[in-house]
Amino acid sequence: MAKPRKGSADEKIIPWLLKRPVFEAHSAAYAAGVAEKSVYGALERLTEAGVISLVGTSQRHRAWAATEVLDEVDRLNKRLAENAPAAAE
């Protein structure tokens, strides 16, 4: 992915994905400081770059996910579970 333009909605959304890996457009718009109707271009660019994926099929309530972030959380949970001491019975 090419580096996003400095100060762009894309640039503001990328680090925010660590806090909110699953989101709707209004949340991304708030994080980027832009109007909701203005955030869709950034979401499309980030989707095309593979940074996020559209996970909802409803046109009215679309949702996106940063699947790499979610995958890393799953891997971390598995490592923690493997290293956790057995519970005393």
For residue 71, pLDDT beyond 70: yes
CATH number at residue 41: 1.10.10.10
Q: Domain count for the chain, please give it.
A: 1
In a domain, residue 4? The reply is: no
Q: What is the pLDDT of residues 30-62, one digit of tens each?
A: 999 999 999 999 999 999 999 999 997 777 788
Task: For residue 27, give its domain range.
Answer: 13-83
Tokens of 1: 């992915």
Tokens of 43: 């979401």
In a domain, residue 1? The reply is: no
For residue 1, pLDDT beyond 70: no
Phi and psi based region of residue 74 (left: phi greater than 0; alpha: psi -120 to 50; beta: remaining): alpha
How far, in Å, CA of 16 to CA of 83, rounded?
A: 29
Between residues 7 and 48, which one has the greater pLDDT?
48
In a domain, residue 60? The reply is: yes
Q: Are 18 and 69 in contact (CB under 8 A)?
A: yes
Report field, pTM of the whole predicted structure over 0.85: no
Residue 41 to residues 36, 44, 45, 79, Cα–Cα distance (Å): 10, 5, 6, 37
In a domain, residue 5? The reply is: no
For the chain, the C-alpha Rg in angstroms (whole number) is 16
